[in-house]
C-alpha cells in the first residue's frame, strides 16, 4: 500500500444513497465493506463524515435560524452519522472508535489526539464526529485539521464523481478531468475542492488531497495502493 495512514472524508449526503434525506443502510454497508478491505491490508483509517443528510447549519441560518445554533445542530448530525457508520463497521468485524469534538461521553469518546493515534496503531478505525467543535467551520476543515493532527499521509475525499473537472461533469458534457493538479492551479482556475479554509490549511501543511468516486466498488483500495484513480491535488 502506498499510504499507511489515511483520512477519509465522506459527505453526509453520500450516506443517503438514492433517498432524499437520512441514512441508506445499504450504502452504509457498502462503505463498511470498502473500508474493511483497506484495513485488512494494514492501512490505518480515520474518517470524518459531514451531516448534510440530516441538517446543515448554514441552510438553517439562511432560513432565519441563529448560525451558531444551526452549526451546533450540524455537529450533532455528524455524530449521528458517525454512530451509524461505527455500527456498520462493527457488523463486519472492524474495530471502531468514535471520538467527538463536543462532549457526548455516553455515546462517544472525547477527541484526544494521542488516544486517536494509539487506536490507529492498534488497527482500529477512528471516526471523528462533531466537526472541529466550533461554529463557522465546515467538516472539510475538520477533516484537514484531524489529518494534520494524526499525521495522516493523505486526505481521501470520497464523492459521487471520479475526480476534479474543469466544470460540473453532471451538467456539462464538455467538462474534462484532471488526473493531477497543483494547489495553486486549483485556486487560479477557481475549482471547488474544499472550502477555502480547509484547502489553505492543507496547502500550508503540504498535505495532498485525492478526490475520487467512493461509490464504485474497489476504488478506495485502488487509491490507497497508488493507482491513478480520481484527481490528486499536490504542491
Among 14, 17, 132, 150, smallest CA distance to 72 is for: 132
* Per-residue pLDDT tens digits for 180-226: 999 999 999 999 899 999 999 999 999 999 999 999 999 999 999 99
206 grid coordinates:
503540504
What was the pLDDT predicted at 143?
98
Range of the domain at 30: 5-234
Phi, psi of 55 (to 5 degrees): -160, 140
Helical pair 113-121 and 139-149, crossing angle rounded to 10 deg: 70
Overall number of domains in the chain: 1
- pLDDT for residue 62 is more than 90: no
Among 125, 149, 153, 113, smallest CA distance to 32 is for: 125
What was the pLDDT predicted at 11?
92
Among 151, 138, 158, 149, smallest CA distance to 209 is for: 158
36-45: buried (b, 16+ CB within 10 Å) or exposed (e) per residue? Answer: bebbeeebbb
Residue 12 has, within 13 A of its CA and on its CB side, a CA count of: 27
Residue 53: which residues within 8 A CB-CB, separation 6 or more?
12, 13, 14, 15, 16, 21, 22, 23, 77, 81
Predicted confidence band of residue 60 (pLDDT cuts 50, 70, 90)? low
- pLDDT for residue 18 is more than 90: no
**CATH number, domain at 9?**
3.40.1160.10
Predicted confidence band of residue 63 (pLDDT cuts 50, 70, 90)? confident
Q: How far apart are CA 161 and CA 181, in angstroms?
A: 16
- pLDDT for residue 58 is more than 70: no
- pLDDT for residue 131 is more than 90: yes
Q: What is the pTM of this model?
A: 0.95
Amino acid at each position: 500500500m502506498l499510504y499507511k495512514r489515511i483520512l477519509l472524508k465522506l459527505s453526509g449526503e453520500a450516506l443517503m444513497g438514492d433517498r432524499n434525506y437520512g441514512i441508506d443502510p445499504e450504502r452504509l454497508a457498502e462503505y463498511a465493506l470498502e473500508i474493511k478491505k483497506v484495513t485488512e491490508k494494514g492501512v490505518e483509517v480515520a474518517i470524518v463524515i459531514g451531516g448534510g443528510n440530516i441538517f446543515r447549519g448554514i441552510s438553517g441560518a439562511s432560513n432565519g435560524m441563529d448560525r451558531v445554533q444551526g452549526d451546533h445542530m450540524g455537529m450533532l448530525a455528524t455524530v449521528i452519522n458517525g454512530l451509524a457508520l461505527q455500527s456498520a463497521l462493527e457488523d463486519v468485524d472492524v474495530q471502531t472508535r468514535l471520538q467527538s469534538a463536543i462532549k457526548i461521553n455516553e455515546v462517544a469518546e472525547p477527541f484526544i489526539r494521542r488516544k486517536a493515534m494509539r487506536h490507529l496503531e492498534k488497527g482500529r478505525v477512528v471516526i471523528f464526529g462533531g466537526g472541529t467543535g466550533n461554529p463557522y467551520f465546515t467538516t472539510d476543515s475538520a477533516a484537514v485539521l484531524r489529518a494534520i493532527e494524526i499525521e495522516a499521509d493523505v486526505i481521501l475525499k470520497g464523492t459521487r464523481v471520479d475526480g476534479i473537472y474543469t466544470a460540473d461533469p453532471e451538467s456539462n458534457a464538455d467538462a474534462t478531468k484532471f488526473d493531477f493538479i497543483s494547489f495553486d492551479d486549483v485556486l487560479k482556475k477557481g475549482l471547488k475542492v474544499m472550502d477555502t479554509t480547509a484547502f489553505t490549511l492543507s496547502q500550508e501543511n503540504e498535505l495532498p488531497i485525492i478526490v475520487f468516486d467512493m461509490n464504485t466498488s474497489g476504488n478506495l483500495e485502488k487509491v490507497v495502493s497508488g493507482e491513478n484513480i480520481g484527481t490528486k491535488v499536490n504542491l
